[in-house]
Structure formats: structure tokens, C-alpha cells
């Protein structure tokens, strides 16, 4: 079973989500038991290993909070090394959400 967790995490900077393990055929009890020793970054999102959490792992963890989420805008550009960005927040967009909303000023 742990080989499934390791395989998923290996392609995601060491991060794995509960919904991914459930989709791979794990039971809720198995997920609860097997993720017990992992560090939780968000509800249902874990990181493997003991090293300090990197910015790339935080990006992965944010997008793994729900299926269909993607990193957007400056965060995505920085993650793909297309542009530097040291902003204080990350932008996550979920499918069908229409993207982030901006308030209009009159």
C-alpha cells in the first residue's frame, strides 16, 4: 500500500491528498492509519519527509485541497520558473469557479 502513496507523492514534490488515496482504492481507515506519521499541511493534504516544507510543496498542497484545483497567475509563473514572484499569497482556481473574483470600485 505504501508504494502507492510514495508513487503519488514522488510526482508532487512529496505531497499527497486523501482524495487521491481514496481514488487509488484505499479505505478511509487505511488512509487514516497510513498518513498518521505524515505532516499535515491542509485538511486532508500531507507532506512526506522531515525536511522543512518548501514553497513548491506549499503550492502543491494548496492545489491538492480539492480535485481540479490549479495554481494560477503569478504563482503559476513562479512555480514553472517563468517569472520571479515573492507575493504574500497564492492564487488557486477550481474548475467551474469562473476564476478569482475582483471587487469593482465605483
In a domain, 101, yes or no: no
Q: Which domain holds residue 61?
A: 2-94
In a domain, 34, yes or no: yes
Mean pLDDT score, 79-100: 68
73-103 residues labelled b (16+ CB within 10 A) or e (exposed): ebbbebbeeeeeeeeeebebbeeeeeeeeee
Q: What is the pTM of this model?
A: 0.77
In a domain, 41, yes or no: yes
In a domain, 66, yes or no: yes
In a domain, 102, yes or no: no
Q: Is the pLDDT score of 103 beyond 50?
A: no
Percent of the chain with pLDDT over 70: 82
73 backbone φψ class: left, alpha, beta (φ>0; ψ -120 to 50): left
> Model confidence over 36-88: pLDDT tens digits?
999 999 999 999 999 999 988 988 998 898 888 888 777 777 877 887 777 75
Dist CA 55 CA 80 (whole Å): 12
Q: What pLDDT is attached to residue 101?
A: 52
In a domain, 100, yes or no: no
Number of domains comprising the chain: 1
Amino acid at each position: 500500500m505504501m508504494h502507492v502513496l510514495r508513487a503519488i507523492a514522488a510526482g508532487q514534490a512529496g505531497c499527497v491528498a486523501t482524495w487521491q488515496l481514496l481514488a487509488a482504492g484505499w479505505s478511509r481507515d487505511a488512509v487514516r492509519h497510513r498518513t498518521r506519521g505524515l505532516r499535515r499541511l491542509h485538511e486532508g493534504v500531507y507532506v512526506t519527509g522531515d525536511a522543512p516544507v518548501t514553497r513548491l510543496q506549499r503550492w502543491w498542497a494548496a492545489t491538492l485541497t480539492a480535485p481540479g484545483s490549479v495554481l494560477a497567475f503569478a504563482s503559476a509563473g513562479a512555480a514553472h520558473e517563468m517569472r520571479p514572484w515573492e507575493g504574500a499569497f497564492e492564487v488557486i482556481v477550481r474548475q467551474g469557479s469562473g476564476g478569482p473574483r475582483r471587487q469593482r470600485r465605483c
